[in-house]
Amino acid sequence: MSSVRTRFAPSPTGYLHIGGARTALFNYLFARHHGGVFILRIEDTDRERSTPEAIEAIIQSLKWLDLKCDEGPYFQTQRFSLYKEKVQELLSEGKAYRCICTPEELEAKRQAAQRQKKKPAYDGTCRLKPPVIRVGQPYTVRFRSPREGTTVVDDTVKGEVAFDNGELDDLIIARSDGTPTYNFCVVVDDVDMRITHVIRGDDHLANTPRQVLLYQALGYPTPQFAHVPLILGTDKARLSKRHGATSVTAYKEMGYFPEALVNYLVRLGWSHGDQEIFSRDELIEKFSLDEVGKSAGVFNPEKLLWVNFHYMKTLPLSRLAEDVVPFIAVKGYPAPVDHAWLEKMIRTLQERASTLAELVDLGRFYLSDEISIDEKAAKKFLAREVSEPLEELIQRLASLPNFSEQQIEQAFTETLKRKGLPLGKLAQPVRVALTGSTASPGIYEVIAVLGQERTLKRLKKALEHIH
């Protein structure tokens, strides 16, 4: 295969959504698999809807997902001179023509076609009779599309798809203000950037025959197309905001890992046996368009959460400690200065939390001394009969020279033995006193992470509550 060049070409009208992220991922993996080049192109010709904030959000989302581009970002708004040159080339060769039909006239033609139950395509008025353009008169430029025959798209995913040329009207390639249109810019850019493979969502398939005809008119070979199925919600409708979060930024802010999102997205439309979890190197080695399915992928938030949970359990504690810091800040807790302590805290919670945000919620009693004790739990477990064993435990914990889990367990064992109590009769009251609730990691782990000073302070406060 000749040197592979792929591109991801988003329109910056909002955040990078899940479907766009998967398209970027497929292009990235295909290029890397073949030792090729992955290009980022920002298609910002829609000046009314394109924003600098959206451009920045897209670039930052790709960076977070670690989808590094080799070239770009290129911006279409900086390439207008090239598009105008190509429009002029088609005009001079008679492959395009000027059209002076006004928007009102075009609307009237469209309505007339609808009344006659015809497809509302341009009727070719200015194609049949080239207009005389007066000075200052606005005009668009239309591509002279063939009226007969078929245009065949050889698609890697869908196979051969044939389009009747009679169904394709004369596409406007330059608006009356001189700005080029989407379909024309895409083709000129793909030619100029020597794109060999166009991998995109199959909602673009309808544009492809027009683009193929433009490649031919400009005298260039067409790239290999691969239109991948859309991503649907669990109700089989196209994925939208009513299905929940749909942007990469939202998942980042909810505390998902980029590795989890990449692993989940790659499996929406591509599979390699039953394997669910892939390293980046494995994805690059195994990715192939031959294994992209024809049916739509269904976005399942629970499955994504399961994949994220896998990474919570398996990523190094040092990485988790680094990643969780912004989530601690968002909740308004003071930033822990000791990363070693943060790693100890995370170790007690990583089997319980599915996201970084949940990790912070579960660790609230570690991160703040302002804990509120659940009333029902206090009434049930912080009762008068527990005060004596609790006092003895406080004394034993206060005298420990080494506040390790082993020493803490020994303090419990000796107290329980002297009082003739089972572990639960002391562990649950201590848990409520230290965490505010009846559910937490192992009590010895909790005490070791809290440390001697904070543990004793909370236990003494609970004792005061009992008295």
- Closest listed residue to residue 143, CA positions, set 211, 198, 207: 211
> How many C-beta atoms surround the C-beta of residue 403 within 10 A?
16
Beta-strand pair 150-155/71-75? unpaired
Angstrom CA distances, 353 to 178, 280, 281, 362, 409, stand at 55, 24, 27, 7, 25
Q: Which of 63, 68, 241, 376 is catalytic?
A: 241
Burial 380-389 (b: 16+ CB within 10 A, else e): ebbeeebbeb
CB 6 within 8 A of CB 31: yes
- What is the sign, positive or negative, of the torsion defined by CA atoms of 397, 402, 404, 409? negative
Written as six digits, the tokens of 339 are 């990363």
Angle at 367 between CA 362 and CA 371, to 5 degrees: 80
Dihedral-angle region of residue 275 (phi above 0 means left; psi in -120 to 50 means alpha; beta otherwise): beta
Among residues 10, 17, 27, the alpha carbon closest in space to that of 283 is found at 27
d(CA 313, CA 317) in angstroms, rounded, equals: 9
Evaluate whether 64 touches 97 at the Cβ level (below 8 Å). no
CB distance 390 to 459 below 8 Å:
yes
> CA–CA separation, 460 vs 376, rounded Å?
20
| Burial group, residue 317, by CB count within 10 angstroms (0-12, 13-18, 19+) | middle
Lookup: tokens for 92: 């001079």
Contacting residues for 52 by C-beta, under 8 A, at least 6 apart: none
User: Residue 309 in contact with residue 285, Cβ under 8 Å?
Assistant: no
In 3D space, the residue among 1, 94, 9, 8 whose CA is nearest the CA of residue 46 turns out to be 9
HSE at residue 287, side-chain half, CA atoms within 13 A, is 25
Whether 129 is catalytic is no
Which active-site residues does the annotation give? 241
